[in-house]
A and B are shown apart, each in its own frame.
Chain A
Amino acid sequence: MAKKLMKGNEAIGEAAIRAGALHYFAYPITPQTEVAEYLARRMPEVGGVFLQAESELGASNMLFGAAASGKRAFTSSSSPGISLMSEAISYITCAELPTVLINVCRAGPGLGGILPSQGDYLQSTRGGGHGDYHLLVLAPATVQETVEHIMMAFDLADKYRNPVMIFADGLIGQMMEPVDFDAVPVSKPMDHSSWAATGAKGRDPHIVKTLYLNPIDNEKHNIHLAEKYERMQVEARHEIYGGLGKPELIITAFGTSARVAKTAIDQLNEEGVDVALFRPITIYPFPFKALAELAKKKHVKTLLSVEMNSGQMIEDVRLATQSKKPIHFFGRQGGIVPSPEEVVEAVKKLL
């Protein structure tokens, strides 16, 4: 199929439909509202369910009920809405329901602002709600990659019986780019009939629950989840970009800030400055091993984390490099996307 020019938020909605997810519950919030607007029109055309909930609490708990049926279901929101959804996300993760959540991240804390941000990095990668759990988090940098991630996300959610989050931001949601929906093959949804609540016809009842009053049972379930997150580590993905062979400085950046960093690196490489980008594509699991391998090379003298927050990813960069090389930070906050010139300047200051 030919490429189609689409707004990020609309492409998010279409990608989910292409992945066979025909059940969507959401509440309007800027800058992701167009996902809901697009699906309000589109779901009836494909025989799906679109429901505007009374709140993000409502939407995310409806998602639990929907996912408990074993069918593909999803929701989308933006930062303050994701905070409200954190209750349901904790329950969904505990009950091991395969679902997909899309965060079109905006600036916080509080109401913050409606412009692009990466301020929810720690919230997304550490769980976000109560208890020991993780989401598998994909961090796309373009509209095309967002589409591909969403289509993969449903398979990953099925595979691990765990919610998968797409960490987009206001820039990805609002910009228009050409997209090709055929770039990712569509797989078949997994058969969940062994646990889903579908009516106890000719079998024992299925109970989808999260309460374990006996601490021995609760510990056992927590260990089971922890083992799953361990298995999930093989899904860590990354990209290395640019450099002239022996980069002195490695920029670490994900999503939109990685995209900006690429432009800066192109310019620096052209000037003969040997700088490369390490971009985590999954931010949970974080590609620790790959970054450790790169950072331990002799020619790498220093690292620079470029983010649209106050440096939340530095924790993971430090874990990967064991603080063996100095880690610097350049970031913009409050909804400001750093310019390539600013990144170039930040790099030059360090060399």
Chain B
Amino acid sequence: MSQTIICKPEGMRDNHTHYCPGCTHGAIHRLVAEVIDELGLRETTVGVAPVGCSVLCYNYFNMDFLEAAHGRAPAFAVGMKRIRPDLNVFTYQGDGDLASIGTNEILHAANRGEKITVIFVNNAIYGMTGGQMAPTTLPQQVTTTSPMGRNVEEAGWPIRVRELLSTLRTPAYIARGSSHSPQWLIRTKQYIRKAFQYQKSNTCFSLVEVLSTCPTNWGMTPVESTEWLADNMIPYYPLGELKTPEVEDGATKKMLEVN
């Protein structure tokens, strides 16, 4: 008698992706789809695709989807969620989309405590347009628009989205995982699961940043890419949960005491 040990999650379609070899979008898609399956949310989910490499992610996810204007995915998600609070609404966004053109939308969605989930994939570069400097590009990192390496005097330091959003007083679940190793994929899946659970229980805004690779635009092999991520990105973008709705940060506590 045969027994199925592992199969494609129902939340994914049977399509080949257009992602480059070694890109971790596929693995991150799978984590999201598995969590949605496990929580029984597929038939009540509306996803929002960004502009960037994952603009076509609705070809791979097997669920209702909207395709947003560049950076506006959180606004799309808010419009849907406010009308249909019974639905599970999430955005899937890259670093150019979320941390550059979409900073206003993500900041205010988080600050209003919108009950949506954001999967934020950070690979420190613009992928689809061919390797330009992102707000998350590391100091000295070479891209097509920082050919001498990112000069922090001119371009500023890379934005740490997890840390930035965690300063907001509004309760939220904000964590950073990574896709560079099986161990971290497993832990990242736990973060994603928590994020969707917080939405399901109508608790708070949730965002999981996932560090990822771009072998094509980094000019590396897939293996070199995962090593580069571990050696260069993780020191600047520490992994782990930074904010949970149950715990108030020290600064907020102090402010409440003063008032």
The chain A residues found within 8 Å of chain B, CB to CB, are 23, 25, 49, 51, 53-55, 57-59, 61-69, 71, 73, 87-88, 91, 197-202, 205-211
Contacts and interface: CB of A to CB of B under 8 A. Distances in A.
Contact of A65 (B43, B61, B63, B76): B76
Contacts of A23: 79, 82-83
A57 B104 contact: yes
A44 to B, nearest CB: 13
A201 to B, nearest CB: 4
Contacts of B20: none
Interface of B: 42-46, 48-49, 55-56, 58, 61-69, 72, 75-84, 87, 104-105, 107-108
A332 to B, nearest CB: 36
User: Do most interface residues of chain B lie in helix, strand or loop, or is the interface mixed?
Assistant: helix
Contact of A49 (B46, B55, B76, B83): B83
Contacts of B107: 54
Contacts of A66: 79-80, 82-83
A65 B80 CA distance: 5
A24 B106 CA distance: 20
A205 B84 contact: no
Nearest to A87: B69
A166 B187 CA distance: 51
A61 B64 contact: no
A84 to B, nearest CB: 11
Contacts of A68: 46, 66, 76, 79-80
Please indicate which of the listed interface residues A65, A69, A198 has the most CB atoms of chain B within 10 Å of its own CB: A65
B16 to A, nearest CB: 16
Please indicate which of the listed interface residues A67, A73, A205 has the most CB atoms of chain B within 10 Å of its own CB: A205
Contacts of B49: 209
B179 to A, nearest CB: 25
Contacts of A25: 79
Contact of B64 (A57, A71, A88, A199): A199
Given A58-B105, A65-B48, A205 B64 contact: yes
Nearest to A48: B83
